[in-house]
Structure 1
Amino acid sequence: MSSVNQATRIDEGKLNAFVGQMLGDLGGASSVAMVRMGDALGLYKALHTNGPMTSAELASTAKVDPRYLREWLSNQASSNYLSYDAASAKFALPPEQAMVFAIPDSPVYLMGGFDLMAAMLENQPKVQAAFKSGGGVAWGDQAGCMFCAVARFFRPGYHNNIVSTWLPALGGDVMKKLEAGANVADVGCGHGWSTVLMAKAFPKSRFVGFDFHPGSIADAKAHAETHGASANTRFEVGLAKDYPGKDFDLVTCFDCLHDMGDPAGAAAHIRQSLKDDGTWMICEPIAGDRLEQNLNPVGRLYYAASTMICVPTSLSQEVGTALGAQAGEARLREVILKGGFKSVRRATETPFNMILEARP
C-alpha cells in the first residue's frame, strides 16, 4: 500500500471505511436472491408461525432440502435477518424482522422492494442501451415481473395510509363526499390496489381505475373480484391525457405523475375531468427540491428506481418530460399549476411519500 499511497496520496482510513461500506452494499445485494427464496419457499412464514426452530425442524416443516437450508439460515443469521441461539441451535424470526419479511399488511413490509431490485437488474440491458441512444424503455417492454413488483412494493403503504391518513388530510368535504357517494377516478392505477382499498372503505362511492398498461388493468380487475370490491369499481385502459368522464369529485394519482411523458398535459386533462369543486390528490415520492436534500438512504433508492424505471418510462412516451422520482415539490407544483389548477398544498407526508392536494 505504501507505493500506492505515495503516488496518489490515498487516505488509508477513508479507503478502509469505504471498503467496509462496499462489503455492506455487496451483502445487501446478495440478500436479494436470498430473501426472495426465503419468501417463495415459505421459510419466513414458517418461522413466524411456529417460532424458533432448528435447521432440521424447519427443513421438515417447509419441506426443503436440509443442506441447502443450513447454508441459507447461516446467511440470514449473519445478516441479522434471523436470530440464532447457539445453546439450542435454533433460528428465530424476531418480531421486528417479521414486520419486514412475514406480515404483508405491515407498514414496513418490504418483500416487494426485494422483488423490485430483481426486476431492476433484469431491466439493466434495456436501460443501458437507452443511455447510449437517449431513448426510453416503454412500461410494457420492461422486465416481466416489474409490474407485480411495483404493485407489491407500494401496497403496504397504501393499505396503511390512504384511507386512514391521506384522504382525511385533504381539505374541504372530500371525506363527506366519499361517505355519501362520490365519483372517483384513480388515474395510473396499475394493479388497482389503491382503487380497491378506497372502494372497500367507501361502498356508496363509485370508482374507476385507468391505466395505459392492459396487463395491469387485467390484474386490477382480478384483484377487485378477489377482494370483494367489484360492485362499485371498474377498470379501463386509458391514458392520463384522454380518459373519459367530466364529473369526478375526486381524482387520485398514486406514484405515477412523475412517470408520465406529459405530466402537464395530464394535469390539464385531470382539471377538465373534475367538477368545479373537485379535488386532485397526488401521491409522489418524498424529495427535497435540491440534490443535496436527497443525499440520504431514501433518496438513494429512489434515484436508482428513477434511473432504471421512471425516466426510461417517461422518455418512451409523448413529450418525455422525465420528471424523475425525486422531482421535488416545487417542480411538481409547477407542472400542476401549468395544468390549470389554482392552488396546490402539501396535505401530509410520510418518510417515503408526499401527498399534494390540488384544487381548480
Structure 2
Amino acid sequence: MTAPENDDAVDAFAEVVFDRLIGGIEILSIYLGDRLGLYRALAGSPATAAELASRAGIHERYAREWLEQQAVAGFLTVDPTRDATQRQFVLPAAHERVLADPSSLVYSAPLARMVAAAASRLPDLLTAYRTGGGVGWALFGDDARDAQGDQNRPWFDSALAGALASVPAVHDALSRDGARIADVGCGHGWSTIALAQAYPSASVDGFDLDAPALESARLHAEGLERVSFHHLAGERVADGREAAYDAAFVFEALHDMPDPVGVLTALHRAVKPDGVVVIMDEAVAEQFTAPGDPIERVMYGYSLFVCLPDSMSTAGSVATGTVMRRSTLARYAREAGFRDAVALPIEGFAAFRFYLLER
C-alpha cells in the first residue's frame, strides 16, 4: 500500500526538492552577475538599476530585475521602501569577497560557471549516458576551463608554497639547486607559476592536452623564464626525460585522466629515484557512505556532469570519476611501480588532499 499523499515524509522531501530548485536558479543568477560583470560593477559602489545598466553595459530593465532578485535572495541589500527607480542596491563587503574578488580564498563565482558549462551540454550528456560514450573537456568550453583556473588560482597563489614547505621531504626536493619540476595537467598554469615563484632556483615544466588552457598559461607566465609549457599527454612525460625531474605534481587532474596508471608509470620513470611525486586530488571520504557529507555530494555532482563524461570520451578509459578514494589512488600507484600513496599532513587546503607516492 502506498503512503497517502499528505504523508509528512512526502511533504518533507518535496520541500527538499523545492529548495534545490531555488538553489539551482540562484546559482545561475550568480552566473549572470559574474559573466556580465555586475558584481564587479557593484563592488564598493552601490547602484540603482539605471546606474548598474550604465556601468555594466546591459539593458536597464534586465538590470532592475536582476538587482531585485539578488536582494530577494539575500545576496544584495536594499531599502525596499524607496521608489523602484531610486533604490540603491549594495553588495556587502563580505559578499564581495565571495563574488567579486578573484584573489580571495573564498571566491566562489567560478562555481556557477562550472554548473552552467555542465548544463549547456545536457543533450550530449543524455546521449553519453545512453550509449556509454563521453563528453570531452573541450566541449564544456571557456566556462568550465576558466572556472577551474579561477577557482584554484587564489589557493595556488597564496597557500601552495606554505603547504609544500610544511612537508620536509617535499620541500627539500624542491629546494635543490637547479631542481626540475613537472606539473602534469597544469591547465591555466597557476600551479606551475606558484611552484616557480616559491622555488626560485627551480625550473618548472607544465604539461596539458588542452591547447586553449595552455595559451592562457603562457600569457599568465609571461616574464617567468624558468617556466615552460608543453602540449603533451601525461603518459608521455618520460619521453626523453628519464630521471630528469626532482619532483612531479598532478594537481586535481589525475581522476580525469583516462589512463592514470600510464601517467603515474611515466612519472615513476621521469622522476629521479630520490625525487618526489605528489598528487593533489579531492578530499573525499575513505569509503562510500550514504548519505554523504557536502564534499561527497558536490564531488559526485562534478563527476556526473563533467569529470566522468570527460574521462569516458576517450576509448579504453578506466573511468575513475571525481570521487577517487585513497584506496583507488594507492592501487593505481602500485600498478605504476610505487609502493603506496600516503596522505600528507596538509590540511585546510580548500577541498583537496595531498598524497605522496612512495617508491
1:100-130 deviation per Cα after TM superposition (whole angstroms, max 9, x unaligned): 1011011111121111111101122222111
Q: How many Å separate the matches in 1 of 2:35 and 2:135? A: 29
DSSP 3-state at the match of 1:199: helix
**Which residue identity lines up with residue 249 of structure 1 in the other structure?**
D
Equivalent residue letter for 1:37: L
Q: Classify the secondary structure of the residue corresponding to 1:8.
A: coil
Spell out the pairing of 1:8-47 with structure 2 (5 A cutoff): 8-10=3-5, 12-47=7-42
**Of 219, 231, 234, the match for 1:237:** 231
How many angstroms does 1:63 deviate by? 4.7
Please tell me whether the aligned partners of residues 289 and 327 of structure 1 are also in contact (alpha carbons under 8 angstroms): no
Q: CA RMSD in A?
A: 2.3
Could you tell me which residue of structure 2 aligns to residue 286 of structure 1? 283
SS of residue in 2 equivalent to 1:323: coil
The CA deviation string for residues 48-70 of structure 1, in whole angstroms up to 9 with x for no partner, is 222x4444444444454333222
Matched with 1:304 is: 301
Q: Secondary structure at the match of 2:205?
A: strand
Letter in 2 for 1:139: W
Change (3 A) 1:98 1:324: same
Could you tell me how far 1:76 is from its partner in structure 2?
0.5
Note if contact 2:173-2:247 (Cα within 8 Å) is conserved in structure 1: no
CA-CA distance at 1:259 after TM superposition: 0.8
Conserved 8 A contact 2:75-2:95: yes
Corresponding residue of 1:147: 145
- Residue equivalent to 1:326: 323
Equivalent residues in 2 for 1:155-234 (5 A)?
A: 155-165=153-163, 167-172=164-169, 174-175=171-172, 177-178=174-175, 180-225=177-222, 228-229=223-224, 231-234=225-228
The answer to whether 1:70 aligns with 2:64 is yes
SS of residue matched to 2:121 = helix
More helix by share: 1
Could you give the per-residue CA deviations for residues 241-286 of structure 1, whole angstroms, max 9, x where no partner exists? 1123221011010111111111112111111111111111111011
More displaced stretch, 309-318 vs 99-108:
309-318
Q: Give the counterpart letter for 1:311 in structure 2.
A: L
TM-score normalised by L of structure 1:
0.89
Larger displacement relative to structure 2 (135-144 or 74-83): 135-144
Q: Deviations over 1:157-182 (max 9, x none)?
A: 333321222x1233325256337431
1:236–1:294 Cα change, 3 Å: farther
Q: Residue 3 of structure 1 aligns with which residue?
A: none
1:88-107 equivalent positions in 2, closer than 5 A: 89-107=87-105
Instruction: Give the structure 1 partner of residue 126 of structure 2.
Output: 128
1:171-228 deviations in whole A, cap 9, x for unaligned?
3252563374310000011121211222233232101011122232222212212xx3
Q: TM-score, normalised by structure 2?
A: 0.89
Query: SS of the residue aligned with 1:261?
Result: coil
Question: % of aligned pairs identical?
Answer: 30
Q: Cα distance 1:155–1:60, how it changes in 2: closer, same or farther (>3 A)?
A: same
Letter in 1 for 2:327: A
| 3-state secondary structure, aligned to 1:181 | coil
Say if 1:185 and 1:209, in contact at 8 Å, map to a contact too: yes
User: Aligned pair in 2 of structure 1 residues 242, 7: CA closer, same or farther (>3 Å)?
Assistant: closer
Report the AA paired with residue 17 of structure 2: M
Structure 1 consecutive aligned stretches of length 4 or more whose deviation exceeds 6 Å: none
Letter in 2 for 1:277: D
User: SS at the partner of 2:354?
Assistant: strand
Residues 279-288 or 41-50, more deviating: 41-50
**1:53·1:92 contact (CA, 8 Å) conserved in 2?**
yes
Return 5+ residue gaps in structure 2 as ranges.
none
For 2:138 and 2:94, locate their aligned partners in 1 and report how far apart those are by CA, in whole Å.
36
